[in-house]
Amino acid sequence: MNDAKIPGCDLLVISPHTDDLEIGLGGTVALLAGKGRSVWALDLTRGELGSNATPEERWREAAESSAILGLAGRLQLELPDGFIDARDRDQVNQVAAVVRRLRPRRVVTAPDPVRHPDHVETPGLVARACFLARLESWVPEAGPWRIWEGGARPGPPASRWEVETLLRVCPDQGAPSLVFDVGEVWERKTAALACYASQFQRDGDRKATAINDPGFLRRITRRARTWGRRAGVEYGEALQTDAVAVLTDLPEQKWL
Q: Is residue 2 part of a domain?
A: no
Q: Is residue 71 part of a domain?
A: yes
Q: Is residue 108 part of a domain?
A: yes
Q: Is residue 135 part of a domain?
A: yes
Q: Is residue 249 part of a domain?
A: no
Higher pLDDT, 199 or 234: 234
CA 139 to chain centre: 24
What is the pTM (predicted TM-score) of this model? 0.95
Q: Is residue 1 part of a domain?
A: no
Domain that holds residue 169: 9-240
Segment 22-47 shows an average pLDDT of 97
Q: Is residue 87 part of a domain?
A: yes
Which CATH number belongs to the domain containing residue 68 in this structure? Answer: 3.40.50.10320
pLDDT tens readout for residues 55-72: 999 999 999 999 999 999
Q: Is residue 220 part of a domain?
A: yes
Q: Are 227 and 236 in contact (CB under 8 A)?
A: yes
pLDDT tens readout for residues 222-251: 999 999 999 999 999 999 999 998 889 988
Number of domains in the chain: 1
Rounded Cα distance, 1 and 134, in Å: 18
pLDDT tens readout for residues 37-54: 999 999 999 999 988 889
